[in-house]
Amino acid sequence: MALTDRADAFDFDLTGDEQPAPALPQERGDLLDPGFDLTLRPMRYPVFYEMFRDAIKNTWTVEEIDFSDDLNDLARKLDPAETHMIHRLVAFFATGDTIVANNLVLNLYKHINAPEARLYLGRQLFEESLHVQFYLTLLDNYIPDHDERAEAFTAIESIPSIRQKADFCFKWMNSIDQLDIIETPEQRKDFLLNMVCFAACIEGLFFFAAFAYVYFLRSKGYLNGLAAGTNWVFRDESCHMNFAFEVIDTVRAEDPALFDDDLKIRIVTMIEEAVECEMQFAEDLLGMGVPGMSVADTREYLQFCADQRLVRLGLDKRYGSKNPFDFMELQDVQELTNFFERTVSSYQIGVDGDVAFDEDF
């Protein structure tokens, strides 16, 4: 019997596309039900499987990035204020994705009871590890002073503005650290708050602020290697954020009573705290006075991003701010234009994207 005949006999095709199959005799619960469902057929949440397939197509390596011009920029073109900004930025990068990866392994994988969603989480863990390698490479090359580099690697202890961001993450995510089984509505709310912290605050505010600093420097012609790598990281992070919001949407559809006034108030409070936390980092990062980028504009940008996250969660805007950074809208050239409009030739594997640039920002 040919391989394709065997595929037909077992009711699937070689592309992984869902085929009609008889329902399983046992009843299967919702996304957060305790247990560890191992059954991929029939597929309950095909959207997560499609996200996994798209992520596989989006493959890149740190070795593809050319940092040679960056080193010249750092040595000869950046002024002291810009150098301080980039050193603070890579110090945050050094620990930010590690916090995310730990949360994936210790919390999310344990409680999201759908094998197709866990496929995506496994891929995301690989991507977070790749980002950590990227940031490690930045630190090793951008900060030649050994003492300053050591401070960057221990940023959550040694740099107050970064420690505050880490404390914020731990405050809102650690409530489910010791939770082995989600059994009560309050525990489900804690899980949702963990997801909102990850999607709306860490990925959707902290990292989007970091991208703005990178693209500001790129708009001045500096650090093109960093910007090229950030394009790829941005693409990954946008997909991570979309996955997390899809998980939240799914839980909400399966248990609408969870999204009561109490949860909504807690979400708004969290996002307000995230904005103020990121502002403390902005005041540190821009504290030496970076020409062309002000603390006031950064606040406006953060509030704009926060409103986008609230709307995505089905809540009202909190700030009514606009995006003050024109360079963010002008950065959709080279790799980013490819991502949003056509096949990406500069990746190892091309993939079509359907994320609107202005919606994410």
Tens digit of each residue's pLDDT (9 = 90 or more) over 28-59: 569 999 888 888 888 999 999 999 999 999 89
Provide the annotated active-site residues.
135
350 vs 100: which has the higher pLDDT: 100
Measured distance CA(128)–CA(135) in Å, rounded:
11
- Is 15 within a domain? no
Q: Maximum CA pair distance of the chain? A: 72
Are 61 and 147 in contact, with CB atoms under 8 Å apart?
Answer: no
Quick check: is 52 in a domain? no
133 pLDDT higher than 70: yes
The predicted pLDDT at position 248 comes to 98
Q: How many CA atoms lie within 13 A of 216 on its CB side?
A: 22
Task: Tell me what the pLDDT averaged over the chain comes to.
Answer: 85
Task: Give a yes or no: residue 255 inside a domain.
Answer: yes
Per-residue pLDDT tens over the stretch 241-255: 999 999 999 999 999
Mean pLDDT value across residues 292-319: 97
Tell me how far apart the alpha carbons of residues 278 and 299 are, in angstroms, rounded to a whole number: 9
Residue at 154 is within a domain: yes
Which of 122, 103, 116, 330 lies closest to 203, judged by CA? 103
Average pLDDT of span 132-160 = 90
pLDDT at 232 over 60: yes
CA-to-CA distance for 333 and 158, rounded, in angstroms? 37
CB 60 within 8 A of CB 349: no
Which is higher by pLDDT, 207 or 3? 207
Q: What residues have CB less than 8 Å from 274, skipping those under 6 apart?
A: 168, 197, 200, 201, 205, 206, 306
CB atoms under 10 Å from CB of 14, counted, come to: 8
Burial of 2 (0-12, 13-18, 19+ CB in 10 A): exposed
48 located within any domain: no
Domain carrying residue 105: 66-322
pLDDT of residue 144: 86
Between 6 and 124, the more confident residue is: 124
Residue 247's CB: how many other CB atoms inside 10 A?
25
pLDDT at position 337: 37
Q: What is the pLDDT of residues 167-204, one digit of tens each?
A: 999 999 988 988 999 999 999 999 999 999 999 999 99
Give, as one character, the DSSP assignment of residue 258: G
Instruction: Find the mean pLDDT for residues 289-305.
Output: 96
- Judged against a pLDDT cut of 50, whether residue 348 lies above it is answered with no
- Dump pLDDT digits (tens) for 306-339: 999 999 999 999 999 999 998 886 444 334 433 3
- Residue 35 is assigned to a structural domain of this protein: no
pLDDT at residue number 28: 57
pLDDT over 80 at 340, yes or no = no
Asked if residues 324 and 332 have their Cβ atoms less than 8 Å apart, the reply is no
Greater pLDDT, 338 or 93: 93
Q: How far is residue 153's CA from residue 95's CA, in Å, rounded to a whole number?
A: 8
Three-class secondary structure assignment of 301-342? HHHHHHHHHHHHCCCCCCCCCCCCCHHHHCCCCCHHHHHHHC
We report the CATH number of the domain holding residue 315 as 1.10.620.20
**Dihedral sign (CA 199, 298, 324, 266):** positive
Position 137 in a domain = yes
- Does the residue 226 lie in any domain? yes
**What six digits make up the tokens of 111?**
């409680």
For the chain, the domain total comes to 1
Q: Which pLDDT value is given to residue 152?
A: 87
